[in-house]
Every structure is written in C-alpha cells, then in structure tokens.
Amino acid sequence: MEIEKKIVLSVVEAIKNLYGQDVNENTVQLQKTKKEFEGHLTLVVFPFLKISKKKPEDTAQDLGNYLAENLPQIIANFNVIKGFLNLTISSTCWIEVLTAMHQDNQLGITTPTADSPLVMIEYSSPNTNKPLHLGHVRNNLLGWALANVMEANGNRVVKTNIVNDRGIHICKSMLAWLKYGNGETPESTGIKGDHLIGNYYVAFDKHYKEQIKELMAQGMSEDEAKNEAPLIKEAREMLVKWEQGDSEVRALWQQMNEWVYAGFDVTYKAMGVGFDKIYYESDTYLEGKDKVLEGLEKGFFTRKEDGSVWADLTQEGLDEKLLLRSDGTSVYMTQDIGTAKLRFQDYPIDKMIYVVGNEQNYHFQVLSILLDKLGFEWGKDLVHFSYGMVELPNGKMKSREGTVVDADDLVSEMIATAKRMSEDKINKLTDISEEEANEIARIVGLGALKYFILKVDARKNMLFNPEESIDFNGNTGPFIQYTYARIRSILRKATEAGLSIPETLPTTAELSEKEIGLIQMIADFGLTVKQAGSDYNPSCIANYCYELVKEYNQFYHDFSILREEDKEKQLVRLALSACVSKVIRLGMGLLGIEVPERM
C-alpha cells in the first residue's frame, strides 16, 4: 500500500534527522492498529531505542511529531501507548487508496512472464481400479487451488497427475470382471466406467473373503488362507503376465483403463479441475528401474545377496530403503524416481510440489534425498504439500468394502441440496429460467463443497459435514456467494438509477471508521495472496474472504448506499461495494469457486 511506503520512508528519514543514524527500511515495523486502540496503523518503536537512547514513550512521541509535521496530508492524528505509535490516517488518503483499488483489476495478483520460475504441481494420483472418492476430492481441490495461488504469485505453473494404472489391485478388478462380468460394459449397463470397474474391485474382495473363510474352515491359518486362496493366486499370475507383456492381458487392461479414464474425465469436469500433463505408472516404472540401476553403478545404492537393491540412508538419520525387489520388480519409490526423470525431461522445473496425504510424509522425505543423489536439481527442495484425511460423521472410508463417499454422488448431492435450500431465495428472483436456477444451484452446491474443504488448514484432518457446508449463514461458501450476488444487485440498481462510479473518487467525502476498516481489508488482499503462496496455504484466502464479507455485511446493515442523499458518500460506498465484489470474485476464483451474479 502506497501510504505505508511513504510512512516507512519518512520514519527512516526521521531516525536520521532526529538521532543521526541510518536505518534499513526493513527495521520499520508497521502493522494494523488493534481494534481496542484509536488509529489505523501502528509503528513499533522498540527497534530504535538503542539509537534514540530514550524511553519508548518519548521515542514514539518524537517520531509521531516528525511524521505529523512532514506528512500532513497522510497523518491526521497520532497517539502513543508505551512503545507503540498509533497513527490515524486522513480520510483523503483512504479515498485515494480506494480510487487506486477501484482502477486496479488485479489487486495484488501477479501475472507470470516467460522468465518466471516454473513450478510443477502433482495432484489427484488416482488408481484405475475404483472411482474417485471424498479423499480424492480434497486432494484435487487443494491441488487446483494451490496451482492458482502459485500462478497468482507470478510463477509459471504446470499441473500434473500420475495415474496408478498397474499392480495387483488393478489385476483384482480385471480378474473379477472376467469371472463375474458376463462381458458387461459402461454402454451396456449405463454405469460410468470408473464405477463399473470399482464394483468389480468390491466383488473381488467379497469372493476372496469367502474363499479365505472356506480354507480356514478346512484347517488353514488366516495368513495361509490369504496366500493360498485361488483368486489371489490367479491375480498374481495375471500380474506376471502383464509384466511379461501378454497380449490378451494387456488388451483387457487397456480396454478397462479406457473405461475408467472416461469416467474420471466426467468427475474432473464436474469438480472444475484439470491437468496440463498426465503421467502413467505403466510408463514410468521402467524408467525408475533404469535410474536406480544407474545409481547402483555410481555407488549410490547397494545390491544385497538376494538381488534386491537398497539405498542406505542411515547417514541422513533414516533407515535403509528398498528400491528394487529380489525378482527385479519395482516399488512405489522406484516409480516416483522414474516419473521425476520423465518430468525433468519434459519441463525445466524450478520447484516440484507433490499434493499427497500425510501418511506419505516419510516417503517424500526419502524421495527428496534420493532425487538429490541422482542429480535432480529440484530434488533437495521438493515440497510435499502434506494434507490430513477427510473423515465423515460416521467414520472412515474403505474402498474395497464399498463404503467410500463417491465423488460423483457427493457432487450430485451437494447440487441437489443447494437447489432445495436456495429455492426460497431463487424464487424471489423474477424472470428466472429453470436453466438459470439449475446453474445457480450447481455454482452454490460446488461452492459449498469446495469452500468447506479449502477453509480448513490442509495439514489438519477434517470432518466433512455436507449439511453444515451449505448453510447460508456462517463461515460457508454460500454465505460468501450470497453476499457477492447482493453487491452485484446493488450495482445493477445503481446503473439503472443512472449512477456510475467515476474513475477518480471525490476526496472530500468524510469516511466512517467502518468504511476505513473495509478499505484496509481490501488493501490486504495482495498480502494474503502472497502469504498463501509462501506458506502453501489456500485456506488463508478462504478465511480472508469470509472476514471481508462479514465486515461488509455489517457495513451494509449500518449504512445506506442507494438511499444515501450525500452524492459524494454514495459514490464512495458504491466504489467500496464494487471493490469488495471484485476481491470476492478474485479470491474465490483462486480457490476454484465460482460466484453467481444473482441468487
């Protein structure tokens, strides 16, 4: 904010003129004045006491007098509380700040250039044996929001996905489809491809458990029965055939994966997320194997007697890590190394961010060390954007038992609930078509879901409560969206009444403290975006939007806008409203949340 820059420079000048010493601008700490004190900005004077050789109160008084004398257009008043100098900024200044924000469509969002750092963000990482569920919803929404935030901080961003399309779990679904599927397809059943394959993953588990039970009844231990059950043996045989490139197994694998990908695309589109590049583990695991063998030749890794390859990380305070099994097959770590190799070939990455649950914290600690050893420049500084699990009021989710909250069902349910709960509001709108009503319900339902998930600090586990998320009061998406629609309605009515907000606002209008507080909050948007980027924390944007909207609603309750008779005040309040709506649209947009023009 321009005001703050001028005050900081004047404080540096004051220290030089009053006490004969140069200080760095960084030592000047300005912060918002606490609500219980009079003023708008507070200068912390403690860093200057050694220079002034005076008491905190006297130093603050000296600086206050200097600023009032040298910045009469900015400083309307000041008061001293111990070592804090509280500055009251003039109304004229705040109107100038508001004018600048009214003219600025970016408000602190930085557009990347061709020379900006390249940040790659991996999120989603689904398996092709089941549809996306609530856990994936949190992952995708966090990944998309983080990508927007990083781009808003001036980075070029590449959004990537790594699909887990190989392994025993994939073979389980394939085998169950062969045994129990009667050749059914998404077209013949009308079931989305990912759901159809997910049903067979559940079917495999059901029949497998029955076989285990039978074998245990015949006298086997549970562990023996799990190993000897015919289904698991067949699944393992299928995996071996897949690894050997068996044409029949590969053809079935390709067909079933295509069904799943078509299903995933529908879900991604409904959630409003996407990717610039998708990688597949079936392509990357052999690349990883090559890279591990290269590391073995260079002496980074060791081969044990049984032929397995390990990384000894004891010097880094960790343990030994398996990279290739004794039969030469790869593990997840190997696949991640292979994916990193391909990505580094495809893009000149400056920073790599993995959006993966916190149960993988150790995995990424190890991956960072291994990538660094193998010569990936960004390996040492890779970021694991670790997030907590999503739990439900009635407990945890299990895919193989079919007890997950399906992403498609959740999105449909949220839209239906939004339609039901916003009917009274939408019905008040005249000339609204059913198509527009449905679109509003979609925007509100998805906004409720996204906001409820994104307002929580990603590192924390969270309890998802659909009913609570769609409330039109409190810290929810619909509350923010409704305020946006209300402001847009005010601005439309102003236009109909022949009122237009001038480029430059009248500086003679007197502002209330409530209006000044709102201007200060709007001015904080750019800092909030920066903080969200440096902390990798989209939740601070969500909560900023809520606080801004709460403040605006109090202002709207206390002050007239369209009925205000003082034209200067009216124009300032319209500009203030327009700026709040602009910030809501930008802030919610960074979270991937749409805002309706009317509701």
Average pLDDT over residues 284-289: 91
Q: Where in the chain is the domain with CATH 3.30.1360.70?
A: 2-89
166, 285 in Cβ contact below 8 A?
A: yes
Cα radius of gyration rounded to whole Å, the chain: 30
Cα separation, 124 vs 506, in Å, equals 50
State which amino acid sits at residue 469. Answer: S
Residues 474-496 pLDDT 10s: 999 999 999 999 999 999 999 99
Cα separation, 247 vs 524, in Å, equals 60
Closest CA to 124 of 413, 376, 404, 387: 387
- Give me the pLDDT at residue 400, please: 47
CB atoms within 10 A of CB 367: 23
Non-local CB neighbours of 476 within 8 Å, separated by 6+ positions: 448, 451, 452, 468, 469, 470
Cα separation, 274 vs 499, in Å, equals 41
Helices (H), 91-192: 91-103, 134-152, 168-180, 186-189
Residues 342-400 pLDDT 10s: 999 999 999 999 999 999 999 999 999 999 999 998 898 999 999 999 887 765 444 44
Residue 306 has pLDDT above 90, yes or no: yes
**What does the DSSP assignment read for 422-490?**
THHHHHTSTT--HHHHHHHHHHHHHHHHHHHHHTS-TTS-EE--HHHHT-SSSSSHHHHHHHHHHHHHH
In the structure encoding, which two tokens stand for residue 286, read together? 């052999």
State which amino acid sits at residue 586. Answer: L
CB atoms within 10 A of CB 487: 25
Non-local CB neighbours of 27 within 8 Å, separated by 6+ positions: 47, 48
Residues 392-448 pLDDT 10s: 776 544 444 545 788 999 999 999 999 888 777 766 776 788 899 899 999 999 999
Dihedral sign computed on CA atoms, order 22, 27, 32, 37: negative
Task: Decide: helix, strand or coil at residue 320.
Answer: strand
Q: CA angle, corner 578, sides to 573 and 582, nearest 5? A: 145
Q: CA angle, corner 398, sides to 164 and 170, nearest 5? A: 30
- Give me the pLDDT at residue 591, please: 98
In the structure encoding, which two tokens stand for residue 586, read together? 């930008």
- Give me the pLDDT at residue 397, please: 43
What is the reported pTM? 0.92
In terms of C-beta density within 10 A (0-12 exposed, 13-18 middle, 19 or more buried), how is residue 293 classed? middle
Burial 437-456 (b: 16+ CB within 10 A, else e): beebbbbbbbbbbbbbbbbb
**What does the DSSP assignment read for 392-403?**
BTTB---TTTT-
Provide the mean pLDDT of the chain: 93
User: 523: number of CA atoms within 13 Å, CB side?
Assistant: 22
**Chain position carrying tokens 């961003």:** 157
pLDDT > 70: what percent of the chain? 97
Residues 64-78 pLDDT 10s: 999 999 999 999 999
Average pLDDT over residues 120-143: 95
Q: Where in the chain is the domain with CATH 1.10.730.10?
A: 407-590
- Give me the pLDDT at residue 427, please: 63
State which amino acid sits at residue 134. Answer: L
Cα separation, 360 vs 195, in Å, equals 26
- Give me the pLDDT at residue 403, please: 57
CATH fold of the domain at 407-590: Isoleucyl-tRNA Synthetase; Domain 1 (1.10.730)
- Give me the pLDDT at residue 472, please: 86
Cα separation, 346 vs 277, in Å, equals 10
- Give me the pLDDT at residue 341, please: 94
2-89 falls under which CATH superfamily?
A: Arginyl tRNA synthetase N-terminal domain (3.30.1360.70)
Helices (H), 181-315: 186-189, 193-217, 222-228, 230-243, 247-271, 281-297
- Give me the pLDDT at residue 426, please: 66
